[in-house]
Structure 1
Amino acid sequence: MSATDSAAKAQDNDSGMAAKDPAKRRRALLIVTAVFILAAVTWVLLWLFVFSRRETTDNAYVGGNQVAISAQVPGTVVAILADDTQRVEAGQVLVKLDSTDADVRLHQVSGALAQAVRQVRQQTESATSADAQVAKARVDLKKAQADLARRQPLIAEQAEAPETVQHLRDSVDQAQASLDAALAEAAASHAAIEGTQIANNPAVEQARANFRAAWIAAQRNAIFAPVTGYVAQRSVQLGHSVQPGEQLMTVVPLHDLWVDANFKENQLRHIRVGQPATLEADIYGSGVQYHGKVIGLGAGTGSVFSLLPAQNATGNWIKVIQRVPVRIALDDKELDQHPLRVGLSTTVSVDITDDSGPKNAPVGNGKPIATTDVYEQMASKADEEAEKIIRANLSQRSAN
Structure 2
Amino acid sequence: MGGSQAFTAGLVVAIVGFFSSFPIFLAGVEAMGATQAQASSALMAGALAMGLAGIVLALWTKTPASCAWSTPGAALLAASAADPQGFSGAVGAFAVAGALTVVAGFWKPLVRLAQSVPGPITQAMLAGVLLPICFTPIRAVAEAPAVALPILLTWFVATRIRRLFAVPAAVLVTFGLVIWHNGTLPLPDHALTAPVWVMPTLSLQGVIGLAVPLFIVTMATQNMPGVAVLRTNGFTPPPGPMFATVGAISILSAPFGAVQTNLAAITAAMCSDEHAHRDHGKRYWAAVWAGVFYCLFGIFAALVTFIAAAAPPFAMATLAGVALFGVFMTSMTGALRADETREAAVLTFIVTASGLTLFGIGGAVWGLLVGGIVHLLNMRGGK
What is the TM-score normalised by the length of structure 2? 0.17
Of the two, which has the highest radius of gyration?
1
**Does 1 or 2 have the higher relative contact order (CA < 8 Å, sep 6+)?**
2
What is the TM-score normalised by the length of structure 1? 0.17
- Which structure carries more strand by proportion? 1
- Which structure carries more helix by proportion? 2
